[in-house]
């Protein structure tokens, strides 16, 4: 069965144990594409580590979320990679 980026999705970020401030809490997204983009581009790395995305009955861990983001089927524009910008400046 092919993955649909148009289905609604739930993102369960990992708790940040080392910091006293609140991390990101559970979020529901209208589309899996929005959830994947948020997880990769907005979540701090320590929240993404241990997070999972649920779409229908399928669950994706950090590596699965990253694979979805990097897939050719990902429908949203991606942020430019920071290392590419810093190499251009050098």
Pairwise CA distance, residues 75 & 69, whole Å: 9
Each residue's pLDDT tens digit, 65-78: 999 999 999 999 99
Each residue's pLDDT tens digit, 20-62: 444 568 899 999 999 999 999 998 888 888 899 999 999 999 9
CA distances from 64 to 8, 9, 17, 26 (A): 17, 14, 23, 18
**Residue labelled with tokens 């979020």:** 27
Domain segments of the chain as ranges: 9-89
């Amino acid at each position: 069965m092919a993955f649909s980026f148009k289905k609604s999705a739930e993102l369960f970020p990992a708790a940040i144990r080392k910091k006293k401030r609140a991390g990101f809490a559970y979020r529901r997204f209208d589309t899996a594409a929005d959830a994947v983009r948020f997880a990769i581009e907005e979540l701090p790395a320590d929240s993404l580590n241990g997070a999972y995305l649920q779409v229908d009955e399928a669950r994706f861990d950090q590596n699965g979320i990253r694979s979805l983001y990097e897939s050719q089927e990902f429908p949203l524009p991606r942020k430019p990679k920071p290392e590419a910008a810093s190499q251009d400046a050098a």
